[in-house]
Amino acid sequence: MLFSNITARDAFLALLVFAVRGGGQVVLTGCHVNNGQEVCLLPGGAETTIAQTVAATPTSPNENSAQTTEESGSGQTTAVTDCHPHETQYYCVNGDGVDVEVLAISTGSEPLPTAYDDCHAHSEEDLWCVAPDGTEVQVLPSGEDADEAEGSCHFHAGVEHCPGQENSCERRDRDYNVSLRIGLLFVVLVTSGIAVYAPILMRKLLNVDPTGTVFTVVKQFGTGIIISTAFVHLLTHAELMWGNECLGGLTYEATTTAIAMAGAFIAFLIDFLGHRLALWRRFKVQSQAPNPSYSSANEETDPTIKETNTHPSTAAAPALASLSHHHDALGSTHPNDALSVLILEAGIIFHSLLLGITLVVAGDSVFTTLFIVIVFHQVFEGLALGARIAAITADNISKTKYFTLPLAFAFVTPTGMALGIGILNQFNGNDPSTIIALGTLDSLSAGILAWVGFVSMWAQDWMHGELRNASLLKTSLGGISLVAGILLMGLLGKWA
């Protein structure tokens, strides 16, 4: 009767613990339950199965058992125990006897806790537990479940979107590598600068013809980038902002497109009034020009006087007129004038600022992927803007166009990153005021870029500009570049 209660498990443990091999003892450590089996670690770190077991029964949290409570008919873990490492990850056992991953980081030589209690949910899909020192750690399902839960989540303007999952309006604590973010800020700065200055240097140093095939390819690629940015990136992001559940539902469902339409109208109004004002200044200069006292015969013998009388605005028009469209012999306009480029850059600057904030406030789990995407985004957008700046025909602002305009683009995204770093520990992308601000800027930027992209770039180049009578080769290359820009920027919309 003395040994009647000894189980096969006890006998196996006794053999292992007290088996003598050369006078030594075999000691088992890290025993835990994994999918209904009790597993321990041998001295060499290998796992060995001790025996089959049943799911842990509800008991008070301690070093050896996990606890569950019944809520709405489903088990809710209130503690995880038997915590142990698996390679580079750390696992514990929940109340159902199943391994769960604990996102805990070891600091210094202190070992990680073997149990966490006071487990609670920040949302239906989000479980957190408390360590003995009072810090919170996130608990994730192990294996494929965790991969599926995280795989569909992505960030837009600092807001995590997980299709098919519940959205939480509370601020989430995430791991942020601040040093890495500061270092990569300068990488974005340099990349943006190289991209936007490349077309300008091509024209200035290499004397590339702005109406030639090379520049046409670059400009049409940039046109595709701007069109795709307006619709795939900005308008989509704005829809996500205004459709956020944390706003409580909008009484006017067309908020996104209405604000985008307002942005397009503002861009049109600035463009139209600017050119009307420039045209009025030209007529004013022409009307004030003195009438020549020379006869037609004298004009024919003095070409200088004839040129002055024929084109008074060329010599005397004020600087404002140089911002207007350059008119050719057929009366059409070119999209490469300074005013159109200024409107284009205004739309880019609005959303580039948000882009920098988006990158910084995203958690470390997606930061690397998002950084790579945004670097490509900056390269494509920089080439688009740089090509238009390089093709400006107004000579009176040459110093500005080669310095201020590209420099503003190069610095705006790093500025957004710096702002994001400053508010890293306070930013909540699901706060209603934040959603309204981000949604409004995204919608306005989408409208502005849509106007500039369609009217001042796409239609002007193909219907009234250099491509209306271009050769078959130049037209084909321009069309391929246009589609390539749309597709590549649209592809990046999957991640940013």
Q: What is the pLDDT of residue 370?
A: 87
Residues 486, 481: Cα–Cα separation, whole Å: 9
Residues 262, 151: Cα–Cα separation, whole Å: 36
Q: What is the pLDDT of residue 31?
A: 67
What pLDDT digit, counting tens, does each position of 259-290 carry? Answer: 999 999 999 999 898 888 878 887 887 787 66
Pair of tokens at residue 452 = 């500039």
User: What are the beta bridge partners of residue 140?
Assistant: 101
Residue 386, CB-side half-sphere exposure with 13 Å CA sphere: 25
Nearest to 377 by CA among 494, 479, 238: 494
Report residues of the chain scoring pLDDT below 50: 1-4, 19-24, 52-75, 144-151, 294-336
Calculate the alpha carbon distances from 197 to 203, 211, 255, 383, 481 in Å. 10, 18, 37, 8, 20
Calculate the alpha carbon distances from 312 to 231, 282, 334 in Å. 43, 9, 21
Nearest to 478 by CA among 224, 226, 231: 224
Residues 234, 353: Cα–Cα separation, whole Å: 12
Q: Are the C-beta atoms of residues 454 and 193 closer than 8 Å to each other?
A: no
What pLDDT digit, counting tens, does each position of 346-380 carry? Answer: 889 888 998 898 888 887 777 888 899 899 999 99
Residues 194, 224: Cα–Cα separation, whole Å: 20
Task: Label the pairing between strands 24-25 and 29-34.
Answer: unpaired
Pair of tokens at residue 150 = 């995280």
Pair of tokens at residue 414 = 């790093």
Using alpha carbons only, give the angle 124, 125, 131 rounded to the nearest 5 degrees.
100
Pair of tokens at residue 345 = 């850059």
Which residue type occupies 92? C
Q: How far is CA 199 from the centre of its chain?
A: 25
Residue 161, Cβ density class (10 Å: 0-12 exposed, 13-18 middle, ≥19 buried): middle
Residues 305, 323: Cα–Cα separation, whole Å: 26
Nearest to 258 by CA among 238, 285, 230, 279: 238
Which residue type occupies 164? G
